[in-house]
Amino acid sequence: MSDERFDQDLRSVLVEAAPREVPADLRRRVAAVSVSDPAPRPAPRLAWLRAAQRTLGAVAAIVVLIVVVTVGFGLGTQPGGGGHPAGLTDGSPSPSAAPSRACVAADLAARITAWQGAAGSRIADVEITNTADDACFVSATVALQLVDQGGRVLIDSKTVDASEPPSVTRTASVPVATATATPAPDLALEPGDTLRTQVAASDYCGPAASPPIGIVLVLPAAGGSVAAVPADGVSSSDAVPPCLGITGGHIAMNGWRR
């Protein structure tokens, strides 16, 4: 039975078949109630309360996320650092400081890696290595000596022309005897670094020399002397230049190169 049919039957009983003890006023009030317009039911509160709780929870989560990101970024930024987070850089390499001192003889090891002949000259491929624990710089201009096995000086750059420094050029591909003398810059040597050059000697007219033939580099400012001797397997039997009777002996080097 439907709710509407039940209401109609109940009204009939109350209005028509009700006992006489039922007051007439109650009978009239029952008859006045409309079957098609029942009393409205209160809306359930549980559904909208749950929806409101979910909405408030989502808003609270967003607020917490914004606070965490803002605080974290603020802690990770160094004041005065241009806005870079702590521990991060813009990728630029840190500049290294230039060596504060000149190399001395005790800092360097030298050797000759090859001897070769060219147009009446003898050319030695020379390299020096920094064996010290710190960096130093090597002067572009060093005095040079061609020496034999006993250390006897065959040609000395300081005695060729005492008023001029040794002939030093930047050009490594041109034989030293024909290159134009141009001052070269000093070069820094980190520990373990190596510099290379070519040294050419010509027109030796002195007594016979005994091999092995070496090159001595005399460092400026009382830095001492470094002797470069032939490396293992390098022959110097033909390292003494022939006498041409022109210059009275000459020795010079190309500029240092890496």
Going by pLDDT thresholds of 50, 70 and 90, the confidence category of residue 134 is: very high
Q: What is the pLDDT of residue 83?
A: 45
Question: What pLDDT was estimated at residue 8?
Answer: 63
For 150-179, the pLDDT digits (tens) are 999 999 998 654 444 444 433 333 344 444
Q: Is pLDDT of 237 > 70?
A: yes
- Provide the 3-class DSSP secondary structure of residue 29: helix
Q: Lowest mean pLDDT: which of 5-9, 89-93, 127-131, 208-212?
A: 89-93
The pLDDT assigned to 186 comes to 82
Radius of gyration of the chain (CA): 52
The helix or strand, by DSSP H or E, that contains position 71, with its residue range, turns out to be helix 45-75
| Sequence-separated (6 or more) residues with CB below 8 Å from residue 184 | 140, 141, 168, 169, 170, 255, 256
pLDDT of residue 9: 59
Torsion angle of the four alpha carbons 218, 223, 224, 225, in this order, in degrees rounded to the nearest 10 = -30
Are 186 and 242 in contact by the 8 Å Cβ rule? The answer is: no
The fraction of the chain above a pLDDT of 70, given in percent, is 52
Average pLDDT over residues 82-98: 49
